[in-house]
């Protein structure tokens, strides 16, 4: 763009100086239309700390046999000379592809801040905030209660252009309630498919019934992921939300080794989704990817890496953590990553004001070319850092 203007400018100056503005500026501005995307892939990775995402392995935790029964093997795979190199080994897609082609937010060591704006720092309030753009203080537990609030996915599902083109795959069995499937009509898969549509989905369904479950309410992410990938390939939704969950449960179990391997696996899963997107003409160069988490975790004292809770939540849903009088400090800290058309390649960005999870819904709508105020004027404003300026 610059070069063509430069040559035209030389030509203009020779031919007629008075035409410079008309010949050079008009076409250039004409090319600078805001770019919007047609499709969105939203990913959440439950409770994966910014510390691992940007610093890689925590040396104190891998040295502790209680948290890392796997011992040396974990370090062999993911330790490195610098924290940044360790983070690159842990989440190569995020650091090699998303960081190069898009934006990252939330590396507090680099002065980049992102946080939830709800006052609880656990999952349902976090997902409600991400998906509705508003922190609702009344969402104060993880109980399976139908969400009174309308999510951006439900709103899109009721727009003609997006009707039956929105789908959700999650590992946690509370997602049908968070997305209020009874009211929204959204397809939200969190369990073995009742009606597998392909031989591949049939295998996944049989396997999910046959493989032991580690947790009563969260399935293994491999099922969530491969169902989602299959649906993406066969149904071509315009908006796909994939909610991975293992990271949080392994952390609560105190298994740092498994938490780390789950983070690495999820990075690989996201790469698979993106590789398909960029191979498929329906999606290629028309699709934005947005990745975030529902809450952070503690850092000090060491064992608080397993937990997350605000001080306020200790009196209610999180009273099992009451010994931490200030709550789990730092668990409000989150991170975000995005790339695709309409998202400038900036790498790590440091917003002047801390980015809020309540801004994600408006950002996704903004990328789709929709003014978020038509969805909900009370939602947080779009993240300007993520959007390419017109
Ligand atoms: Zn969570």
Locate the domains of the chain by residue range.
Answer: 1-32, 38-374
Query: What's the pLDDT tens digit per position in 339-371?
Result: 999 899 999 999 889 999 999 999 999 999 999
Helix (H, G, I), strand (E, B) or coil at 318: coil
State the distance from the centre of ligand 1 to the C-alpha of 124, rounded, in angstroms: 7
pLDDT at 118 over 70: yes
Res. 16: pLDDT tops 80 = no
Q: What's domain 38-374's superfamily in CATH?
A: Alkaline Phosphatase, subunit A (3.40.720.10)
Which of 7-21, 43-57, 299-313 has the least mean pLDDT? Answer: 7-21
Q: Residue 234's closest CA among 189, 201, 269?
A: 201
Three-class DSSP category at 236:
coil
Kindly report the average pLDDT of the chain as a whole number. Answer: 91
Ligand 1 centroid, distance to 295 Cα (angstroms): 6
Going by C-alpha positions, the residue among 130, 163, 164, 159 that lies closest to residue 147 is 130
Rounded distance from Cα 50 to ligand 1 centre (Å) = 14
- Residue 388's pLDDT band, with cuts at 50, 70 and 90, is low
CA distance 51 to 12: 54
**Which ranges of the chain would DSSP assign to H, the alpha helix?**
2-15, 20, 26-31, 50-55, 59-62, 72-78, 83-90, 92, 99-101, 123-132, 152-157, 175-178, 181-184, 199-210, 221-235, 246-252, 256-279, 360-367
244 CA from centroid of ligand 1 (Å): 10
* Tens-place pLDDT, residues 291-323: 999 999 999 999 999 999 999 999 999 999 999
* Residue 118: both structure tokens together: 């709800």
- How confident is residue 372, by pLDDT bands cut at 50, 70 and 90? very high
CA–CA gap between residue 282 and residue 309 (Å, rounded)? 41
Q: If you measure from the C-alpha of residue 73 to the centroid of ligand 1, how many angstroms do you get, rounded to a whole number?
A: 27
Residue 30: predicted pLDDT: 39
Residue 247 CA to ligand 1 center (angstroms) comes to 9
Average pLDDT value for residue range 63-78: 95
Nearest Cα to Cα of residue 324 among 339, 341, 302, 344? 302
Using the mean position of ligand 1's atoms as its centre, give its distance from the Cα of residue 46 in Å.
Answer: 5
* Predicted local confidence at residue 351, as pLDDT: 86
pLDDT grade for 7, boundaries at 50, 70 and 90: very low
User: What would the DSSP string read from start to end of 29-57?
Assistant: HHHTPPP--SEEEEEEETT--HHHHHH-S
pLDDT at 174 over 70: yes
How remote is the CA of residue 14 from the centroid of ligand 1, in Å? 64
Q: Contacts from 191-195 at CB under 8 Å and sequence distance 24+?
A: 191/219, 192/223, 193/227
Distance 308 CA to ligand 1 centre (A): 8
Q: Is 254 left (phi over 0), alpha (psi -120 to 50) or beta?
A: left
Q: Which residue has the tokens 């009174």?
A: 148
Strand 188-189, strand 166-170: pairing: parallel
CA of 214 to the centre of ligand 1 (A): 16
pLDDT for 34 equals 52
Tokens found for residue 128:
């409600």
Placement of tokens 């439900």 in the chain: 154
Indicate if the pLDDT at residue 258 is higher than 50.
yes
Q: What is the pLDDT of residues 194-252, one digit of tens each?
A: 999 999 999 999 999 999 999 999 999 999 999 999 999 999 999 999 999 999 999 99
For residue 69, the CA-to-ligand 1 centroid distance in Å is 24
Neighbours of ion ligand 1 (CB under 5 A): 46-47, 123, 248, 294
Q: With bands split at pLDDT 50, 70 and 90, how would you rate the model's confidence at 22? A: very low
How many angstroms does the Cα of residue 385 sit away from the middle of ligand 1?
25
């Amino acid at each position: 763009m610059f070069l063509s203007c430069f040559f035209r400018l030389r030509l203009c100056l020779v031919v007629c100086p008075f035409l410079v503005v008309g010949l050079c500026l008009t076409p250039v501005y004409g090319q600078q239309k805001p770019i919007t995307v047609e499709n969105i892939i939203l990913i959440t990775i439950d409770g994966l700390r910014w510390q691992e995402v940007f610093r890689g392995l925590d040396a104190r935790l891998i040295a502790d046999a209680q948290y890392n029964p796997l011992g040396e093997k974990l370090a062999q795979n993911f330790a490195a000379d610098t924290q940044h190199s360790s983070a690159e080994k842990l989440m190569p897609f995020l650091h090699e592809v998303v960081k190069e082609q898009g934006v990252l937010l939330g590396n507090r060591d680099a002065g980049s801040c992102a946080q939830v704006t709800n006052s609880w720092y656990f999952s349902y309030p976090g997902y409600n905030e991400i998906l509705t753009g508003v922190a609702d203080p009344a969402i104060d537990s993880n109980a399976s209660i139908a969400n009174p609030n309308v999510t951006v996915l439900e709103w899109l599902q009721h727009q003609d252009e997006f009707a039956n083109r929105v789908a959700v795959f999650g590992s946690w069995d509370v997602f049908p309630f968070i997305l209020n499937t009874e009211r929204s009509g959204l397809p939200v898969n969190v369990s073995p498919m009742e009606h597998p549509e392909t031989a591949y989905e049939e295998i996944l369904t049989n396997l999910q019934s046959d493989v032991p479950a580690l947790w009563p309410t969260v399935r293994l992410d491999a099922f969530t992921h491969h169902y989602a990938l299959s649906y993406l390939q066969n149904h071509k939704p315009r908006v796909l939300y994939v909610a991975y969950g293992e990271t949080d449960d392994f952390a609560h179990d105190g298994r740092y080794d498994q938490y780390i391997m789950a983070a690495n696996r999820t990075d690989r899963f996201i790469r698979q989704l993106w590789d398909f997107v960029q191979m498929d003409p329906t999606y290629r160069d028309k699709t934005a990817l947005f990745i975030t988490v529902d809450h952070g975790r503690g850092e000090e004292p060491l064992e608080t890496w397993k937990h997350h809770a605000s001080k306020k939540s200790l009196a209610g849903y999180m009273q099992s953590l009451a010994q931490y009088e200030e709550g789990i400090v730092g668990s409000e800290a989150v991170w975000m990553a995005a790339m695709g058309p309409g998202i400038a390649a900036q790498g790590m960005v440091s917003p002047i004001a801390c980015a809020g999870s309540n801004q994600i819904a408006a950002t996704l709508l903004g990328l789709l070319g929709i003014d978020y105020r038509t969805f909900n004027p009370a939602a947080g404003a779009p993240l300007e850092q993520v959007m390419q300026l017109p």
